Amino acid sequence: MSSISYHLAAVAVMAAVTYLIRALPFAFFRRPIASRFLRSFLYYIPYAVLTAMTIPAVFTSAGSPLSAAAGFAVALVLAYMRLPLIAVASAAAAAAFLVSFFG
Amino acid sequence: MKSDLLRGARHGIPIALGYLSVSFGFGILAVREGLALWEAVLISAACVTSAGQVAGVTLLAAGGGLWELALVQLTVNLRYALMSLSLSQKLDDRFTLPRRLAAAFGITDEIFAVCAAQPGRIAPAYMAGMIAVSVAGWVGGTALGGMAGALLPTRVTDALGILLYGMFVAIVVPPARRERGVRLAALAAAGVSLLLTLAVPALSGSLSVIIAAVAAAALAAVLFPLPAEKEEDA
């Protein structure tokens, strides 16, 4: 498979799976989920996914590990202080940028 | 009908502004992973999902198989099923099946949150307006980020690579501070993910994300199940 057709097939798979996840319950299910375990699992899965995606990948996301660690630390502190999403993300990038002059 | 459309569009503006910065980060990441600008824009227009797109592009750059890609999207985006389910109970009777199928395309974390917070039932035009404005911000930000990635100095784009992870941290930490279940799910996911990456280097990054997330969420669901009767709308 050529690179372009592989990429197009990959995008089609991503879009189709994502759409079906949204559309099937939205269009056809009319009753709430009964299983308490399943409801709890679905409630926790986004947080687990986002954390597993962040650790350890964040440490290779910003040039040097030192820059990334600084940005990650700043993000943790500001998020703990409940600052808005944009503020947390931009401050993390700013910290990574500043530290890159020392690393 | 028309006022619903405008009201939805207006409510979509803050969402679109937030998306601009996040999708800017995605555009940079995608181009850095070797995708063409048009491919990054196509992915944003077709998927409209931050975490799913990051996971997908990372896997795509590594040449992952299509089945693996589908499995990753299923896990990372499973939360939309719950949001769709919850939102489907709130639609007014103008929501015919074709309209439901069209609006389902735009159910994101933020659009769900704003729609769920609306008093009363939701009109199709309201959702259409909100989705149009938000998706424009999402796709536009991706294009800007993809272009900037090629123009800005490496030191800057390197630092901007952390934007999306900063957003993930901002989403997880506040509820983790508040709820023991979320805290456990996050800590367990971080631990398992780190362990798998270090101990099993042959395992692809996205597979270790799936394993870590499913294990951590199941553990949290067993130890801290949601209250039995409460309608959960996360």
Q: Where are the domains of chain A?
A: 1-30, 39-103
Contact state of B103 with A40 under an 8 Å Cβ cutoff: no
What is the average per-residue pLDDT within B222-226? 95
Burial class of A33 by CB neighbour count within 10 A (0 to 12, 13 to 18, 19+): middle
Q: How many whole angstroms separate alpha carbon B80 and alpha carbon A29? A: 13
Model pLDDT for residues B113-154, shown as the tens digit of each residue: 788 778 889 999 999 999 999 999 999 999 999 999 888 888
Contact state of B35 with A82 under an 8 Å Cβ cutoff: no
Contact state of B169 with A54 under an 8 Å Cβ cutoff: yes
Amino acid, res. B218: A
pLDDT at B22: 83
Residue that wins the pLDDT comparison between B161 and A27: A27
Measured between its terminal Cα atoms, the distance across chain A in Å is 41
Model pLDDT for residues A72-82, shown as the tens digit of each residue: 999 999 999 99
Say if pTM beats, i.e. exceeds, 0.80: no
pLDDT at A1: 54
Two tokens, residue B11: 């409510």
Model pLDDT for residues B83-108, shown as the tens digit of each residue: 888 788 788 999 999 999 999 999 99
How many residues in total does chain A contain? 103
Chain B nearest-CA distance from A35, in A, is 9
Q: How many whole angstroms separate alpha carbon A54 and alpha carbon A50? A: 6
Model pLDDT for residues A9-23, shown as the tens digit of each residue: 999 999 999 999 999
Mean pLDDT of chain B: 89
Q: Is the pLDDT of residue B231 over 60?
A: no
* C-alpha torsion sign, points A47, B90, A26, A31: positive
CB-side exposure of B56: number of CA atoms within 13 Å?
Answer: 38
